[in-house]
Amino acid sequence: MLRTAPKFYEVAKRIVEITEDCIIVAHNSEFDYRILRTEFSRLGFEFKRKTLCTVQLSQEIMPEQESYSLGKLTRALGIPVSDRHRASGDAIATVKLFKLLLAKDVKKTIIQDAVKAEPTYKMATNLKTIIDELPSITGVYYLHDTYGKVIYIGKSKNIRNRVNQHFTNPKSKKLQNKVAAVTYEATGSELVALLKESAEIKQNKPSFNRAKRQSVFTHALYSFTDEHGYLNLKIDDADGRKKPITTFSNKQNGKQFLISAVETYNLCPKLVGLGSDKTKCFQYQTNKCEGACIQEESPSDYNLRVQELIFKNSYNNQDLMIIDKGRALDERSVLLIENGVFKGYGYYNLNFQITNKKVLESIITPMEDTRDTQHIIQNYLRKNKQIKTIPLS
């Protein structure tokens, strides 16, 4: 390979061009950067670039790892590597590792330090120039001020369009005057974007995100057993002291859910709080209710259907993976839930098996299991029936 490779002076100009206004990311960047500076020095050129080392970042963000060599780290994290110890293979593996580190850095320390250190960002005051450089992909975006500080966090299925709306909205003048740079993180999955947006707003408390610091739901679905032994359902104000089946952004959404549930599971409107009839419900009169409202149907038969609804709309006490879109065609995102507790999310290559629980846990970016994350996940699954869920054995 070296015998037929070009001399350094033949590629030096191209290296300058492709690294201009960039931060060089490498595994043990001190070594790579020193070699580059030495070779440029021999040509009489002073080569200066900002660098980031994925060894140091890995040690800071994942202190539990046994080894930080690229080979052992990628194996432990389930990152597929081809052409090991070749420039292309190692570079692609480093890119995938860096993406994982960016995802695990919930405080956004890496990206904020990069924006603060990179003078090009400080000069990018032309909002149109910023928009032109953004992609039309699903992910989370961050608006920075001139000091690199994150002042707004948002999510979108089309980042460019959403940021463009911020910059063209007459009501957002104050925000527009503060923005010096926009960075983003591709998620592929809208569910991951929703979870990241919610968690990172609470973690970083951006000054222009005041409204979203509050809980994202107001009502919840609860169950109780009446004096005749029938499971009843009820939409009520969300109460942190009670465990809900699922939650809703408002009461109307909850009501629409119950209307659909009555049809899907053949439930009695009276027993889900939709009917005010004192005796038999209207559905019974049209032969659409089995008679639970007048104790004609046995509680055990009726309750089976209610329990099926509860199981399908709540992951309480369940161990499962939720599989969704990834950031590329050969990738998928995965959410891990253990015993009804949301553990976090990660990404895996379609050619890589994630049935190994240790590998699965290593690729997961931990997230706090809160009432908001539960609402986001359950609400997303309700609206996207095609999402794949896999029980963990």
Rounded Cα gap, residues 333 and 346, in angstroms: 6
Report DSSP state, residue 266: T
Q: What is the pLDDT along the chain (393 residues), one digit of tens a residue?
A: 788 889 999 999 999 999 998 889 999 888 889 899 999 999 999 999 988 999 989 988 888 888 899 988 888 888 877 777 778 888 999 999 998 888 888 778 887 777 665 544 333 346 888 888 899 999 999 999 988 899 999 999 999 999 999 988 878 888 988 898 999 999 999 999 999 999 999 888 999 987 665 667 889 999 999 999 999 999 999 887 888 889 998 899 999 999 999 988 999 988 998 877 677 887 787 778 888 888 899 999 999 999 999 988 888 888 889 999 999 998 999 999 998 899 999 998 887 767 667 778 888 889 999 888 989 999 999 888 889 988 876
165 SS3 class? helix
Please name the residue that has the structure tokens 């020193």. 34
Report DSSP state, residue 343: E
328 SS3 class? coil
Residue 196 token pair? 């990241």
Domain ranges of the chain: 8-103, 109-213, 219-312, 320-391
The fold of the 109-213 domain, in CATH, is GIY-YIG endonuclease (3.40.1440)
Per the rule left: phi > 0, alpha: psi between -120 and 50, beta: everything else, 118 is: beta
Please give the sequence-ordered ranges of beta strands (E in DSSP) within 62-180, or none if there are none.
139-144, 150-156
Q: What is the pLDDT of residues 352-377, one digit of tens each?
A: 767 667 778 888 889 999 888 989 99
Give the β-pairing of 50-53 and 23-26: parallel
Please name the residue that has the structure tokens 């359950």. 378
Report DSSP state, residue 134: S
Angle between helices 8-19 and 29-42 (to 10 degrees): 120
Residue 296 token pair? 């004609």
Rounded Cα gap, residues 285 and 181, in angstroms: 63
Q: Distance between the two ends of the chain, CA-based, in angstroms?
A: 48
Please give the sequence-ordered ranges of beta strands (E in DSSP) within 138-192, or none if there are none.
139-144, 150-156, 181-186
Please give the sequence-ordered ranges of beta strands (E in DSSP) within 95-156, or none if there are none.
139-144, 150-156
Residue 8 token pair? 């350094």
> By the 8 A CB rule, do 261 and 280 touch?
no
Angle between helices 54-61 and 87-104 (to 10 degrees): 30
Rounded Cα gap, residues 171 and 343, in angstroms: 38
Among the listed residues 348, 373, 379, 371, the one whose alpha carbon sits nearest the alpha carbon of residue 361: 348
109 SS3 class? helix
Tell me: domain 8-103, CATH 3.90.226.10, correct? Answer: no
Residue 372 token pair? 């908001």
**Per-residue model confidence (pLDDT) at position 3:** 86
Q: What is the pLDDT of residues 319-354, one digit of tens each?
A: 889 999 999 998 999 999 998 899 999 998 887 767
What residues have CB less than 8 Å from 10, skipping those under 6 apart? none
pTM exceeds cut of 0.75:
no
